[in-house]
């Protein structure tokens, strides 16, 4: 997804009181907001009325936010903690790319927040953040924030896709940008406003500071006795105040007695070990041929169906199962012992094969990954064309916080489901994680130029982002070169939308916009025939024959037929430009601010018929996917 913007000088005045967020039954009036100047020399308007961000909160004793925050002293944060009190004030410039997934560099935010819930840390640095951050907030955005993918979006569209707020309303401002108000209601990333908050992950402590490795957010802290006090560390925006946590880790007590060891089943016969070569991103590779244990015989897969229909798989991927009865190779590769930031380097790698019925050899993966950070380093192409996916290469800067950096690898163990009666792992992708075919290498066996193509993918509709762009399909082999890309988008965006307002939707990302249907040159329409797909196992299909495209989808848990959201002319001015690159989880220019969960999918050489699409749906249903 190509994103263009012009840096515009603006003066934004945030007249918004910063009323108290203490523990008293009624708060004192808040002071007026300060005028904020961004890139201009004008004088902002006066602050808002006293107490305009105030509110009542329960508890005893009066308290206000302390600008100085915690007196940092370090200490051990290992254990279980419960929020005892909190008061956080947020004000000033905000990185609109990181915070909202926009393309403008600067906005303004003012908020008064409280935090509740629990926070636990294990000795290995892994944590679970069970906190909720709440409070009123105001956001001011300059006109440049409305420029997305070469088109101008609307303030109401921005309000629909910004996450972590209740009842967010954005209206045009006098500056030509947007003025937004709403209530923060965010799970995870305690006290730090985030478009993709961390409910779990890894952290490090050093120099009296806690660093969350996923996004490098930081807290000054002091752990003394049974009390842990933290202050989020941020300059854009400025955050002040404290969060006080009390230890809830039970002390003493003897070790509980474990049950008797279970009796293992008969071990399936595996292949002979072989010495692998170096992994594609560093680290040595090990593991033999795919094992032959497990029950059943491999059945027909989607690539068999497509081959019979004369539209063969040009590229096919799954961590769950073999997508062809003829494919006998590895499904994917995992890396253990890598850095906790999942940068795709170091550690050891292992290829994960398939059982005799085609499902992933999870026992081999679990044995390799136990006790280690484990990521997906390669997703092997099952079409036979060797269009393997590894972490994506950096694109141009300015399309998101880390689009100009190489992507991260995704967790290999984050989400397990059942398929074919087996435990299997999905590709659970977070923000900044993405996969792509090799840089500047043209994929084999896929359509090139203005030729017919098809795509199907099965995803988790309960895990989706609202930024650019969680895509699967055909792009340029070089993220710094633009083509009329041809990918299936899933989530919500700033462009077209489907039925309702909540999404998510399957749409076509064709460069310069994301289309939910229709042939309009500009993607800012609503297609009520494109249904929201918030289901654990959602099927999306995109056909792009010359001069046309079709979007179809189904909830495979209950569908008896496919829904056709659109089947008609290509957007005005477009010509398919298949260029031989394939992405999963990012845009064509490595716009990597969105996220989702992928089970399986394929790109076909040719455009399948509706009847073939139905066979694919029935094949997926026969797998018996379950959470």
User: Out of 471, 509, 511, 600, which one is annotated catalytic?
Assistant: 511
pLDDT for residue 198: 87
Is the torsion defined by CA of 76, 80, 82, 88 positive or negative?
positive
pLDDT for residue 53: 37
Cβ-based neighbours of 279, under 8 Å, separated by 6 or more = 285, 333, 335, 349, 377, 378
Assess whether 589 carries a catalytic annotation.
yes
Which segments within 465-513 are labelled E, that is strand? 471-475, 486-491, 505-509
Spatial contact of 141 and 148, defined as CB atoms under 8 Å apart: no
* DSSP for residue 388: -
Of 286, 296, 342, 349, the closest CA to residue 321 belongs to: 296
Place of tokens 């006290």: 191
* DSSP for residue 611: H
pLDDT for residue 512: 85
User: Out of 215, 589, 600, 613, which one is annotated catalytic?
Assistant: 589
Phi, psi of 416 (to 5 degrees): -110, 145
Phi, psi of 58 (to 5 degrees): -80, 165
The pair of three-digit structure tokens given for residue 471, joined into one six-digit string: 């895509």
DSSP reduced 3-state for 569: strand
Task: Return averaged pLDDT per consecutive 10 residues of the chain, 627 residues in all.
Answer: 35 36 35 34 31 35 56 95 94 84 83 96 94 95 82 84 87 94 94 87 93 89 95 90 87 37 38 35 41 62 98 98 97 84 78 97 95 92 98 81 86 95 96 94 95 98 92 95 92 93 95 94 94 98 97 97 98 94 95 94 98 98 96
Domains of the chain: 65-247 (no CATH), 292-316+414-623 (2.60.120.200)
pLDDT for residue 330: 98
Q: What are the Cα distances from residue 211, in Å, to 189, 214, 215? A: 11, 9, 9
pLDDT for residue 414: 92
Of 162, 215, 193, the closest CA to residue 408 belongs to: 215
Q: What are the Cα distances from residue 125, in Å, to 202, 220, 337, 373? A: 5, 17, 14, 11
Burial class for 244, CB neighbours closer than 10 Å (0-12, 13-18, 19+):
middle
Assess whether 511 carries a catalytic annotation.
yes
């Amino acid at each position: 997804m190509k994103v263009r913007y012009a840096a515009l000088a603006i003066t934004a005045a945030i007249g918004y009181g910063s009323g108290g967020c203490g523990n008293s039954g009624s708060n004192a009036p808040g002071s007026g907001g300060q005028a904020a100047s961004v890139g201009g020399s004008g004088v902002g308007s006066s602050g808002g009325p006293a107490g305009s961000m105030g509110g009542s909160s329960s508890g005893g004793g009066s308290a206000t936010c302390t600008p100085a925050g915690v007196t940092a002293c370090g200490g051990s944060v290992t254990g279980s903690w419960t929020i005892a009190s909190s008061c956080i004030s947020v004000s000033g410039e905000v990185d609109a790319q990181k915070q909202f997934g926009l393309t403008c560099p600067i906005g303004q935010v003012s908020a008064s927040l409280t935090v509740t819930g629990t926070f636990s840390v294990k000795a290995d640095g892994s944590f679970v953040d069970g906190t909720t951050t709440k409070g009123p907030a105001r956001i001011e955005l300059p006109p440049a924030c409305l420029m997305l993918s070469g088109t101008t979006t609307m303030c109401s569209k921005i309000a629909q896709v910004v996450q972590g707020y209740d009842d967010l309303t954005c209206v045009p401002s006098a500056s030509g940008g947007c003025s937004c108000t709403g209530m923060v209601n965010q799970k995870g990333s305690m006290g730090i406003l985030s478009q993709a908050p961390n409910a779990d992950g890894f952290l490090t402590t050093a120099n009296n500071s806690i660093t969350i490795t996923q996004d490098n957010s930081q807290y000054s802290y002091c752990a003394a006795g049974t009390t842990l006090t933290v202050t989020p560390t941020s300059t854009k925006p400025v955050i002040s105040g404290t969060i006080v946590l009390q230890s809830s880790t039970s002390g003493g007590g003897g070790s509980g007695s474990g049950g008797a060891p279970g009796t293992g089943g008969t071990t399936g016969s595996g292949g002979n070990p072989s010495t692998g070569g170096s992994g594609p991103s560093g680290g040595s590779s090990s593991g033999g041929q795919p094992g032959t244990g497990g029950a059943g015989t491999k059945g027909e897969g989607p690539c068999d169906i497509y081959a019979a229909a004369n539209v063969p798989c040009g590229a096919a991927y799954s961590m769950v199962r073999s997508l062809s009865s003829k494919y006998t190779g590895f499904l994917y590769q995992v890396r253990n012992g890598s850095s906790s930031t999942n940068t795709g380097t170091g550690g050891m790698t292992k290829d994960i094969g398939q059982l005799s019925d085609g499902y992933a050899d999870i026992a081999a993966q679990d044995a390799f990954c136990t006790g280690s950070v484990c990521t997906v380093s390669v997703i092997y192409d099952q079409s036979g064309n060797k269009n393997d996916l590894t972490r994506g290469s950096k694109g141009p800067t300015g399309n998101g916080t880390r689009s100009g950096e190489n992507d991260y690898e995704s967790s290999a163990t984050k989400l397990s489901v059942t398929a074919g009666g087996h435990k299997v792992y999905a590709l659970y992708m977070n923000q900044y994680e993405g996969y792509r075919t090799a840089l500047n290498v043209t994929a084999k066996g896929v359509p090139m130029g203005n030729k017919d193509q098809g795509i199907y993918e099965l995803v988790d509709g309960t895990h989706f982002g609202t930024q650019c762009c969680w895509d699967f399909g055909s792009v340029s082999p070089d993220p710094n070169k633009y083509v009329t890309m041809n990918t299936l988008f899933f989530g919500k965006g700033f462009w077209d939308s489907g039925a309702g307002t909540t999404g998510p939707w399957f749409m076509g990302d064709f460069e310069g916009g994301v289309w939910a249907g229709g042939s309009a040159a500009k993607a800012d329409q609503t297609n009520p025939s494109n249904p929201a797909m918030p289901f654990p196992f959602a099927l999306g299909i995109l056909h792009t024959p010359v001069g046309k495209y079709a979007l179809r989808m189904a909830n495979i848990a209950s569908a008896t037929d496919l829904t056709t959201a659109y089947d008609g002319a290509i957007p005005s001015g477009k010509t398919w430009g298949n260029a031989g690159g394939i992405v999963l989880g990012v845009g064509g220019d490595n716009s990597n601010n969105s996220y989702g969960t992928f089970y399986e999918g394929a790109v076909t050489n040719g455009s399948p018929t509706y009847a073939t699409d139905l066979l694919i749906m029935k094949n997926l249903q026969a797998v018996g996917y379950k959470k």
